[in-house]
Amino acid sequence: MIKKIKVKSPANIAFIKYWGQKDNQLIIPYNDSFSMNLSACLTYLEGEILENKEIKEVFIKDYKKENFLKANTEILNKIISFYSTAKKFLNSKKDFGFRIYSKNTFPKKSGIAGSASFFSALALFFATAFEKKLNQKQLSILARLSGSGSACRSIPDGFSWWRKGNNNETSYAYSLAPPNFWDLRDLVLIVNPQEKKVGSYEGHQQATTSFFFKFRLKELKKRLIMIKKAFFKKDFSLFGQLLEEDALSMHIVMMTQRPPLYYWSEKTFSLIKKIVELRKSGKMEGYYTIDAGENIHLICQKNDYQQFIDYFKEQPEILKIIDNQPSTGAKIIEII
Ligand code: PMV
């Protein structure tokens, strides 16, 4: 019998974002999305499988903290509910207790997709603990059902495309290209490691109240086709322009939905201006994207990234820079 499973899974940064859910039970999005797995933003999860099925315990070690602390009731309930979803999805009669230890190499809930890395790792842990062999598509569907939709994009390797689909079987992510296809960098410019106040799940529910939402969906059709072409051609200027446009389009929806969500701070805006200025100067070519948080993701190519790091580490807004390359998806480290 399996006693312990160790897994790791990356966060991912979306070049084309998912915002709004057509079905908030099955987490079916309104549009396809496209992301890259991040080599330096990882969740390491170690789960013990216990015969006493009453024990359901989760301990989390936050970024830069010394000790593992018991997860709060809200998180624990989400995990227990995902355990039931996984059992049903996997059609398993088995029941078990678990004690989970999870740690991140980056601050969570600050726009670096901590829930994607955590829930994709958890999906892999549950599938293995229920002793079901899933293919990548099925594992991606299971990760999507966790409630953090973008977790499905952390399952395949490298660059992931989440096909929106229209039901449980047809909405999943697959690898558009392996990590070594294009040496893009995502420099996460951390201006605030504090947790955000409104989580994505609540935010998704109000997306359609924005007057801009319908327009976003319409223009997304073109953008999705164009970015795929730019990606395969490695046309970085067009690729960057499209990913920036998409980040802005998502944030316009966020800011105009009711109640509005403003994730940006003055520091976010100040960095946006610096990235655009550097680009205009012709010295370095980088593009920004922002998730549900105030930290910025600067996307650049290998030839510019060291210069960007040297520049941004001197900027007063920045507390830390996380340097990411494209990475593999969720993986089992060890089964004991
Ligand atoms: O994965 P969720 O359901 O928590 O939603 C997060 C969505 C964004 O990170 C804001 C955008 C994206 O596509 O990653």
Q: Which pLDDT score, from 0 to 100, does residue 111 have?
A: 61
Rounded to an integer, what distance in angstroms lies between the CA atom of residue 1 and that of residue 214?
Answer: 51
What ranges do the domains of the chain cover? Answer: 4-181+327-335, 184-324
Helix, strand and coil content of the chain, in percent to the nearest 5, comes to 40, 25, 35
Residues enclosing ligand 1, CB less than 6 A? 14, 17-19, 33, 113, 115-116, 148-150, 200, 291-292
- Reported as type and span, the H/E element at residue 3 is none
Instruction: Tell me if the pTM is above 0.75.
Output: yes
DSSP for 209-234, written as a single string: GSTTHHHHHHHHHHHHHHHHHHHHHT
CA of 289 to the centre of ligand 1 (A): 13
Percent with pLDDT over 90 in the chain: 91
pLDDT at 224 (0 to 100): 98
Alpha-carbon separation of residue 200 from 109, 162, 260, 307 (angstroms): 9, 17, 13, 33
Which ligand 1 atom sits closest to the C-alpha of 12?
14
What is the number of the ligand 1 atom nearest to the C-alpha of 27?
A: 3
The closest-lying atom of ligand 1 relative to the alpha carbon of residue 150 is 1
Q: Which atom of ligand 1 is nearest to the CA of 13?
A: 14
Task: Judge if 4-181+327-335 and 184-324 fold alike in CATH terms.
Answer: no
Among 66-70, 78-82, 125-129, 312-316, whose mean pLDDT is lowest?
A: 66-70
Q: Ligand 1 centre and the CA of 165: distance in Å?
A: 17
pLDDT in tens, 218-236: 999 999 999 999 999 999 9
**Would you tell me how many other CB atoms lie within 10 Å of the CB of residue 84?**
9
CATH architecture of 184-324: 2-Layer Sandwich (3.30)
pLDDT at 48: 98
Residue 45, Cβ neighbours under 10 Å: how many? 26
Is 60 exceeded by the pLDDT of residue 130?
A: yes
Q: Whose CA is nearest to atom 14 of ligand 1?
A: 14
Q: Which CATH number does 4-181+327-335 carry?
A: 3.30.230.10
Question: Could you give the CA distance from residue 238 to residue 233 in angstroms, rounded to a whole number?
Answer: 10
pLDDT in tens, 160-217: 999 999 999 999 999 999 999 999 999 999 998 776 667 888 999 999 999 999 999 9
Query: Which tokens is 150 given?
Result: 């973008």
Determine the Cα–Cα distance for residues 103 and 313; give it in Å rounded to an integer: 26
